[in-house]
Structure 1
């Protein structure tokens, strides 16, 4: 990806805002390269979203299948009763008050049911649940109530909860940056300025492939063979 032939004018700041363009202008050293970096960032975000989308669909379907397969027969789908998987569970807050730690996932399921519409099949409800919902199912607080009886069955036998939670947590953070159109390049640890380095993006692709492998080796191979992330990494403007 090459920089624009002509020096971009002030219309860029009117479009992006002064602070947003300043990040890329500082990283690029001049206006042409700054705009090229912004365009590269947009393209990189798009191709990453494709791979993340494939993984999200696989993760939510694997979790659903694991829950359903290990639920007593005769019970309705778990999305019809949010309290079944997420009963009231009190914990102490820092100010001494009590908080129901399962209130948020119950509310997320209830919202998904409303969004899916009356009589919607479980698959439609599942599709309305956000990546954030699925991401937090593998956290430590859900180890005994969810991971042990249900969720470990979604992955290769012997998979530990942290082996899933760590990369999924990083991908959730990364996906949120993409969703908010944030820079994907690395920031210098001291100056906090954007610098021209991309190994961490290769690491995020590695996270996608790692979790996909734990769900299905064939899925992992498919995502890797069709991903264009590595191609776009090579397009970093020079």
Structure 2
């Protein structure tokens, strides 16, 4: 049976596969047309895979650029991945949170925990830095440009990964939006209400800051724009 054949006899297995709530998103977008809903779901999956392809290229470039900047400009006696407590020393901030009022949090606790987990997954303390870096998630790199790291990471090191005058908040905002979209793609969530063209613009913009040739390469090999243009007509 073709993947987009959603006749009455096939609807039951489609609901078991996707679950009624997940399928319902696409039925709602297609006015209850099961065949059109499955076409739209297939398109969404292809679009997510295409965006993930481009984002994978950017993530590798970003982590390597940050690794070079941290290695060359922090002035550490060892590689920064082995000096986690120095790079991500406890920094306490008071936050307003819930009915219990203000609480004190260590804004570097998650970064230290992520680094420690990456070291374990890479094979332990003797693992080469490159192997540790490969184990770090996009979420780890995403938060290195947050305002909390303006003084400790951006000014002394990370700004060297970009052209002079690059705005940290601009980089952080764009990478943050890409991180949110990456998580949606990773969890196979609908992309129907997201401006994919704008998010792909974020991706290409950050790529150009890292290296204009990288931007050109990603754009040349990307299928995102073609898929956006080929979105199934739903009648809504």
- Measured on the aligned residues, the alpha-carbon RMSD in Å equals 1.6
Contact 1:116–1:128 under 8 Å retained in 2: yes
After TM superposition, the structure 1 stretch with the greater mean CA deviation from structure 2, 82-91 or 208-217, is 82-91
SS at match of 2:105: strand
Task: Tell me the CA shift for residue 223 of structure 1.
Answer: 0.4
CA shift digits 1:93-129 (9 cap, x unpaired): 3333322111110111011000000321101101101
So what's the TM-score if we normalise by structure 2? 0.91
2:27–2:37 Cα contact (<8 Å) kept: yes
In structure 2, the residue matched to 1:233 is 228
**Paired position in structure 1 for 2:85:** 83
> Any gaps of 5 or more consecutive residues in structure 2?
none
Q: Tell me which stretches of 4 or more aligned residues in structure 1 moved more than 2 Å.
A: 2-9, 93-98
In structure 1, the residue matched to 2:57 is: 54
Are 2:74 and 2:156, in contact at CA under 8 Å, matched by a contact in 1?
no
Deviations 1:33-62 (A, max 9, x none): 000000100110001000010001110100
Match of 1:149 in 2: 156
Indicate yes or no: 2:32 matched with 1:37: no
Distance 2:74 2:150 in 1: 17
| TM-score between both structures, scaled by the size of structure 1 | 0.90
Asked if the contact 1:3–1:237 (Cα under 8 Å) also holds between the matched residues in 2, the reply is no
CA contact (8 A) 2:58 2:203 kept: yes
1:168 counterpart residue number: 175
After TM superposition, give the deviation of residue 6 of structure 1 in Å: 5.4
Distance in 1 (alpha carbons) for counterparts of 2:81 and 2:144 = 14
Matching residue within 19, 28, 31 for 2:30: 28
CA distance in 1, matches of 2:180, 2:20: 25
Q: Distance in 1 between matches of 2:158 and 2:183?
A: 24
Instruction: Write out per-residue CA displacement over residues 2-42 of structure 1, whole angstroms, 9 at most, x where no aligned residue.
Output: 99355242211011111110110111120000000001001
From 117, 120, 126, the counterpart of 1:114: 120
